[in-house]
Structure formats: C-alpha cells, structure tokens
Structure 1
Amino acid sequence: MSILINKDTKVITQGITGKTGQFHTRTCREYANGREAYVAGVNPKRAGEDFEGIPIFGNVREAKEQTGATVSVIYVPPAGAAAAIWEAVEADLDLAICITEGIPVRDMMEVRDRMRRENRKTLLLGPNCPGVITPDELKIGIMPGHIHRKGRIGVVSRSGTLTYEAVGQLTALGLGQSSAVGIGGDPVNGLKHIDVLRLFNDDPDTDAVVMIGEIGGSDEEEAAEWAKANMKKPVVGFIAGVTAPPGKRMGHAGAIISGGKGTADEKLAVMEACGIKVTRNPSEMGRLLKSVL
C-alpha cells in the first residue's frame, strides 16, 4: 500500500519534449517500475512523434484515452503551466503533479478557484514541488531515488530539500518510507499538509509521519489541529525558518511572515499543543521519529 501512486500507476508527462521534461522523465523511468509506468507525453506541436519510445499526444485527454493513464506530471514553463494543470483537470485525471516553479499567483488562483467551483475530481500536487515517490515502486518528480527505501514512515513536506533530508535520515536509521510527498512552497497550491495527513492516517501500511513545514500561512496549524482530533498515528514535526525576519520572503514564494502571523515559533507551539513532537534542529528529524515508534 502507499498513497497517491504505486507501481501500477500510469503516467503522462506534460512538457516531455523540453529539456527538464526529458531529463526527469528519463530518470524516473530508470527508477523501479518506471519503464512500465510512463506511457505518454503531451506536446500539441509534436503529436504523433515519440520520446525514447514514449508516444507523444496533442493533449491530455487523448493521451488518457489511448493509454489509460490516471496521473500527469507537469514540466511546462511558468507562462503555460496553469493552462497545463487545467488541461489535466479537464481530462478528469486522478492526480496532476506540477513541478514548475514561478507560476504567476494570479494564474494559480484562477485555476484553483475554477477547480473548486466546478467541483473537479482531480487532485493537484504543487506547483513548485518535488513530486511524490513510493519507494521501490514509482517516482514522479525530481527527488533523488537512491536515498529512499521501502518502509512504513510517511513524509509530507513544503520544502523540497528538507524532504530529501528527512528521507535520508530515516533511511540511515534503517526506517524506510511508505510514500514521501512534497507539497510545494507556493502560496496558492493544491494538496495541503492536512490532506496528506488524512491519506497517511487511512493507509494501513503507514505507521508514523514526519511533517515538515515552513514559515508563512497557517497550513501547518490547521493540520496540527486536525491531527489532534483525528490522527491515529504518531506525527513528528519540523518548521523551517526559525530565524526568519518578519516581512522578508525566504526562499519559497509562500514563505513570508506577514502581519505577525506564520512565524516558526507560532507554528511549533501549536503543533506541540496538539501532541506533535517537534524539533528545532533539522538534523534530528529522523531520530525524533524513531523515538515515537
């Protein structure tokens, strides 16, 4: 078991002919069951061609109908990425994973509002995220596959590099991962911590969860409150940006303390009050998780 994806998932790459799309499709195909999983690419100008044996279609709906794919990964440049997300949503895919960084906030607001208004079934992961991996089964995104190992710990993170850091620590301690999910750091995005915690809570093959957040917004607090009321498994947490000055954007577009809200201290306090064990030291995430098992 896993969340969101497994070895039987069929994947479409939107933007497969660009440099980034080519590179990451290639590395994802080389990981675990990737060769079976990546079944289609999309580029309206290159329909009928193929990329290293993967057929290229003019649009997502056509790719889905021809291959049975249920998930897409998006490497389309920022100007066209929101339209690419909407194309995946309109094709009624189960999941769209948008890796693209730098999508205009207004574009994302329009897409997300439209998804809600029309009550679409497609889940969106990202944008500006590393993607999702179920170790030894399938990786969709830009994370390094070799640091992962199969196991029973779920990882959910707003930060890409800290996802890898937590995974690396867990693997070094002999603890594998059920799935690792990078939700991205943009202010307007799809799945939140709370959504991924829900999935891990319902997954019989996940025993505990590492939740990594960042300054800005209130997603971590909302997830902590939900976990206190509903989570049946231990959760440990870390918040990046303890030293961040208010009003200065740190790294991610969404990582900004505004109006005195969204500080790391505030988030950590709420998480602790909700029964989540937290650390202020990113090198302790793995050991902290091991201590609650």
Structure 2
Amino acid sequence: MAILVNNDTKLCVSGITGREGTFHTLNNRNYGTNVVSGVTPGKGGQDVEGIPVFNTFHDAVDKTGANTAMIFVPPRFAADSILEAEDAGISLIIAITEGIPAHDELRVYNQLTRNPNVRLVGPNCPGILSPGKANVGIIPASFFSEGNVGVVSRSGTLTYQIGNELAQAGFGNSSIVGIGGDPVPGSSFIDILAEFEADPETELIVMAGEIGGSAEEEAAEFIKANVTKPVVAYIAGFTAPPGKTMGHAGAIVSGSAGTAKAKQEALEANGVRVGRTPTEVAQIAAEIAGSLKTA
C-alpha cells in the first residue's frame, strides 16, 4: 500500500517554473508520479513540458483535481503558498523550501492544526518516496526498490544512506518520509509512525533522528504504547558540542536537553534498538527484515 503518496497522487507544484522546481518536477514525473499541474502567479496559461501552469492553487485544483502539493518557492513566499494550497482543498502538502522564517512556520502550523483534512510534511524536507508508485520531492529514487521497510527521518542525507545500505543488503521500502529538520515541522515522528503502523505493507520501521528538541523522546513513548512493529533508530550528533546548531535549524542542544545520548536512552528504554552509525542501523534493520522473511 505505502503511505501518503501512491498511484492515486495528483501532484501540483508551486514554483514549477523556477529552475529547481522545473528540474525536480520533471524528475518526479519521469519516475511515474502523476504530475497534473503547477502554480506560478502571473504565468497562468503557460506549461512546463506539457504540464499546465495556473496562477493559483484554486484554479489548479478546479481544472486538474490536484490532491497533493509540492512547495518549491523562495522562503519569504512559502508560508502563503502552503496556506493557499490548504485553502484550495489540497489534502497533502509537502514543503521542500529551506529557510522559512520561524514565525512563518508557526503561523502555518497554527492554521493547519485547525484543519483535520490536511497534512503538511516539512518544511526543509526531501519529500516522500513510495518506491514503484510515486516520488514527490528530491529523494534520489533510483537508490530504492519496493519492500517492507518504512523509513522516517529528520535528515535527507541520512535517509539516502540508510536506505541505500538496506537496498544493497537486498531489502526494499514501503515508503520513505523526510519530515525535515526545522524547529516547527508540519508532521512529527509520531504522525508518520502511526501511518506506518496502520500500513499492512510496512513490517519494519527505521527512524533517523538528531540532536535538538524532544521529538525522539516523545516518539519513544508513542512506540511503546502504540507500535507493534519492530523499530530501529539512529540519532545523529553524539559528538555535537552543546549550544551549537548542527546543520538543521532544529538540531541544537541546550544544556542536557536534546542530546543524542538522552534520545538513545529513551528509545532503548522503550524497546527500540539504536545503532551508533547509519551502517550499524542498516545492519540491524537488515537482520530484523531477514528474520521477518523467514518467519
């Protein structure tokens, strides 16, 4: 089945006429994703290699039935683009844009929490890939094949590394979800873990976290209470110095809070095996996935 994106996805891309927007939109379409439209204000009536461009999300939804949005616009415009997609009735919004001001992210978060019919993934994320079905974002899909391992990560590059090592070991993925590393994510680990728990195709879950915040500790409690499938985790940042932001805006340790060690201890206390390196995580996941095959 996969989660969130699949053969029923009808994608509309905000920022489709920009260089990066065009490049990744066409990559997604070449993978097999049903890209039905794009949005760039002032460029309605144009097309990008046969994909119609509209001035607004409302026009795009009315004319093409889009149900998924990918946001590829500059940071200062991204919040309004997300909220326009929500207002137009888009049910899944995937924000790739990095560097959105934190107060804009809060404005979006507060608005979307009032609407139970919409999910935001990101911002500052690599998107979602359901191998063999749809790719929405910038994930290098050629690395991955269909399978039973679900991956959710705050880091794009860690997603690629762990997924590729699993692929080299002969295991595929149901879906790969990058939730992004900003302080105010649209979807949390808990949100995606719940999706994987409900997905019959997913038999094993790999989560890749990092220093900063409490998302991994909260996920650990959720896993203990609600997840019946095996979960393997990795936490980036065991050697990160306190008080220094490491790559992502949300990856910062303050005092003793948010450290990799604290997150590891919380996860292991709740039955999650934690690898110290991405390679070790992939090895543990492959070991468990192999046992599921023979069970």
> Shorter-chain TM-score: what band?
over 0.9
Paired letter, 2:84: E
Residues 42, 63 of structure 1: 8 Å contact kept: yes
In the alignment, which residue of structure 2 is the partner of 1:90?
Answer: 87
Residue-by-residue CA offset, 1:112-154 (whole Å, 9 max, x unaligned): 11222x3352100000000000001110000111101000100
Q: Does structure 1 residue 75 correspond to structure 2 residue 72? A: yes
2:227 maps to which of 227, 231, 243: 231
Paired letter, 1:254: G
In the alignment, which residue of structure 2 is the partner of 1:132?
Answer: 128
Paired letter, 1:68: G
Paired letter, 2:58: R
- Structure 1: runs of 5+ lacking an equivalent: none
1:56 maps to which of 47, 53, 68: 53
TM-score, normalised on structure 1?
0.97
In the alignment, which residue of structure 2 is the partner of 1:252?
Answer: 248
In the alignment, which residue of structure 2 is the partner of 1:271?
Answer: 267
Moved over 6 A (4+): none
Paired letter, 1:20: E
In the alignment, which residue of structure 2 is the partner of 1:20?
Answer: 20
Paired letter, 2:141: G
Q: CA deviation at 1:239?
A: 0.2
Aligned runs of 1:29-68 on 2, under 5 Å?
Answer: 29-31=29-31, 33-34=32-33, 37-68=34-65
* Partners of 2:42 and 2:164 in 1: CA distance: 40
In the alignment, which residue of structure 1 is the partner of 2:192?
Answer: 196
Task: State the secondary structure of the residue aligned to 2:38.
Answer: strand
Paired letter, 2:51: I
* Partners of 1:124 and 1:286 in 2: CA distance: 28
Equivalenced residue count is 289
RMSD of aligned alpha carbons:
0.9
Paired letter, 2:28: C
TM-score, normalised on structure 2?
0.96
Q: Does structure 1 residue 143 correspond to structure 2 residue 139? A: yes
Task: State the secondary structure of the residue aligned to 1:119.
Answer: coil
Q: CA deviation at 1:58?
A: 1.1
Residues 158, 183 of structure 1: 8 Å contact kept: yes
Residue-by-residue CA offset, 1:32-66 (whole Å, 9 max, x unaligned): x22xx000000111001111100011111211111
Residues 185, 255 of structure 1: 8 Å contact kept: yes
User: Percent identity at matched positions?
Assistant: 51
Paired letter, 2:70: V
Q: Does structure 1 residue 113 correspond to structure 2 residue 130? A: no
* Partners of 2:141 and 2:157 in 1: CA distance: 13
Residues 169, 285 of structure 1: 8 Å contact kept: no
Residues 92, 120 of structure 1: 8 Å contact kept: no
Residue-by-residue CA offset, 1:177-199 (whole Å, 9 max, x unaligned): 00000000000110111100000
* Partners of 1:135 and 1:93 in 2: CA distance: 22
Task: State the secondary structure of the residue aligned to 2:225.
Answer: helix
* Partners of 2:103 and 2:8 in 1: CA distance: 35
